[in-house]
Structure 1
Amino acid sequence: MMMLWAWAGVQLGVYNIVKDFNIALQIQPQILAFLSLVTWTQCYYYEQNWSIPRSVSTVVPIAIIMAGVEFALVFALRVGVSRGTIWPETLMAVLAALFLALGVLRHYWDIYVHRTVRGISFIFVGIDAMGDLTSLISVFFQPILDVLGMAIYGTELILWIGVICCGAYYNLSPWIRDRVKTRPRSSLERGVSEDTPTIIEQENSRHRVITLEELPSSTSVFRTPSGELTATRTRHRTDQCLEEDSRSHFPDALDLQTPR
């Protein structure tokens, strides 16, 4: 996803500069490509345990190549436009829209397979969709209305709106239904109540209750080992608290289960 967006920034930057859009729209693709490359490197740093020197030595040559390609294409397309050749501009717009769309469409496949929106932050989706919307408005107010420019940002905006709608259907609606069904309980009852969504794990012939609030969040863009370690520690502390509460409230029941 991040590498597709990085290359989309190259094509989009070429198109916006050649079309002589305002300065904000000319700078925006450069920021998109830079941040996408940084995030792409972080994926390998955290998930594949790349060292910092390896990460830097990998991403810097890619960034230099992208900058060189964009610089050369800007001059080439300007020469072509001066001679009446328009199709390279159209090609840049199509490639930019395609790469941006492919980066988002990977989530649609995951939604189709798992019937839920996971592995992505809805805050991130909202911010990116707002960026597409403001860019779309900016293109609309250019001196000359550019349909291809509007199509680039409009395509990604529509796809993000679709992800938000899927999240409302698969994630938000079940959460609301569970909250409506839940009745107020005491602190001890909330820990083991049937109304609270729980996952029961059987381990060594005993049941351990884990509330969904203890599990790692499925709405973050990245999952790191530190997040899993935090969740494990949280579950361990919860088990200790439940055991202490059980000993304080039901000492006789525990004595009956103790082998003689």
Structure 2
Amino acid sequence: MDIPIAANILGTTGAICWSIQLLPQIFINYRRHNTEGLQGSMMLLWAVAGVPLGVYNIVEELNVALRVQAQILTFLSLVTWAQCLYYGKKYSILKCATAVISLLMILGGIETGLIFALRVAKDRNLEWPMILMAVLSACLLAAGVLRHYWDIYVHRTVRGISFIFVGIDAAGDLFSLVSVVFESRIDALGMVIYGTELVLWIGVFICGFVFNFLPWMTERSKKESVEREEPLSLHQMPSSTSVFRTASGSDVVRRAPQQRS
């Protein structure tokens, strides 16, 4: 397989994952009508992170899927952020829509300007602007996930975040990371961008296993052992229960007045 073709296939797979990654989270927020536990600042950081990430992928001429991927990240992050405003802070729909559209226009303008500026810098063999874009995107993506680490530390549980979303996003990071490896030249900075977030998501999965899954399994096993080891005693039975009873409990109740007469 030709290396650019492999990079495009893997990058497209990663872009598809990133295209749908936040949809489960958006659906869960809509279904339960709240965003408690979901960090709105994380979504805002991710929306901003899409700018340097898009600039880096476009100027470095990475595969087309990775260039589109950053734009999808910004859009879906802002939609989820709007849900945090609507359900969490009780903003009106008009106010949320105004905030999202305004930010999209601002971030889009900044990204467009940076693309033209950094192409000129690249033609002049200046490397530090591209390094800055890579570092900024990696830091902003990581900072967004780290907001959940603080919430996990405070509450000792993973709350408000969909593990389906985490899994899809982590898969997107993995495919994008591998696609960078299969480029005609290995881009170390691109690997750092996607690798950093992938490691942090793996940490969230581990926290979910420790703080959510293990306590649930322990509690479930305790309930099952109690049900097996403690037989039902006579005083735990309903008053209408009898080993020798032939009539139903309702029959006993109906006949009781007749017996008293």
In the other structure, the counterpart of 2:200 is 159
User: Which of residues 51, 61, 65 is equivalent to 1:20?
Assistant: 61
In the other structure, the counterpart of 2:77 is 36
* CA distance in structure 1 between the aligned counterparts of 2:81 and 2:96, rounded to whole angstroms: 10
Q: SS of 1:182's equivalent?
A: helix
Shift of 1:65: 0.8
User: Which of residues 188, 193, 212 is equivalent to 1:171?
Assistant: 212
Q: Which deviations, in whole Å up to 9, do the C-alpha atoms of 1:137-164 show, x marking residues without a partner?
A: 1111111100000000000000000010
* CA distance in structure 1 between the aligned counterparts of 2:98 and 2:205, rounded to whole angstroms: 37
User: What 5-or-longer segments of structure 2 have no aligned partner?
Assistant: 1-41, 232-248, 254-261
* CA distance in structure 1 between the aligned counterparts of 2:102 and 2:157, rounded to whole angstroms: 37
Compute the RMSD of aligned alpha carbons: 2.1
Instruction: Verify: 1:50 aligned to 2:91, yes or no.
Output: yes
Q: Which deviations, in whole Å up to 9, do the C-alpha atoms of 1:78-97 show, x marking residues without a partner?
A: 00010111100000000000
* CA distance in structure 1 between the aligned counterparts of 2:220 and 2:87, rounded to whole angstroms: 35
User: What 5-or-longer segments of structure 1 have no aligned partner?
Assistant: 190-247, 253-260
Q: Which amino acid aligns with 2:96?
A: S
* CA distance in structure 2 between the aligned counterparts of 1:53 and 1:106, rounded to whole angstroms: 27
* CA distance in structure 2 between the aligned counterparts of 1:161 and 1:183, rounded to whole angstroms: 31
* CA distance in structure 2 between the aligned counterparts of 1:125 and 1:23, rounded to whole angstroms: 24
Q: Which deviations, in whole Å up to 9, do the C-alpha atoms of 1:198-230 show, x marking residues without a partner?
A: xxxxxxxxxxxxxxxxxxxxxxxxxxxxxxxxx
Q: Which amino acid aligns with 1:35?
A: L
The TM-score with structure 2 as length reference comes to 0.69
* CA distance in structure 1 between the aligned counterparts of 2:80 and 2:149, rounded to whole angstroms: 21
User: Which of residues 113, 121, 133 is equivalent to 2:162?
Assistant: 121
Listed as ranges, the matches of 1:1-260 within 5 Å are 1-183=42-224
* CA distance in structure 2 between the aligned counterparts of 1:156 and 1:94, rounded to whole angstroms: 12
Q: SS of 2:185's equivalent?
A: coil
* CA distance in structure 1 between the aligned counterparts of 2:208 and 2:90, rounded to whole angstroms: 31
Select the structure that is richer in helix: 2
Select the structure that is richer in strand: 1
Query: Quick one: higher RCO (CA 8 Å, sep 6+), 1 or 2?
Result: 2
Percent identity between matched residues is: 59
Q: Which deviations, in whole Å up to 9, do the C-alpha atoms of 1:9-38 show, x marking residues without a partner?
A: 011000000110001000000000011111
* CA distance in structure 2 between the aligned counterparts of 1:55 and 1:114, rounded to whole angstroms: 28
Q: SS of 2:126's equivalent?
A: coil
* CA distance in structure 2 between the aligned counterparts of 1:32 and 1:99, rounded to whole angstroms: 12
Q: Which amino acid aligns with 1:94?
A: V
* CA distance in structure 1 between the aligned counterparts of 2:217 and 2:184, rounded to whole angstroms: 47
Shift of 1:49: 2.1
Q: Which amino acid aligns with 1:30?
A: Q
* CA distance in structure 2 between the aligned counterparts of 1:112 and 1:55, rounded to whole angstroms: 30
* CA distance in structure 2 between the aligned counterparts of 1:26 and 1:94, rounded to whole angstroms: 17
Residues 1:142 and 1:48: Cα distance change in structure 2 (over 3 Å): same
* CA distance in structure 2 between the aligned counterparts of 1:101 and 1:40, rounded to whole angstroms: 17
Shift of 1:174: 1.3
Q: Which has the larger radius of gyration?
A: 2
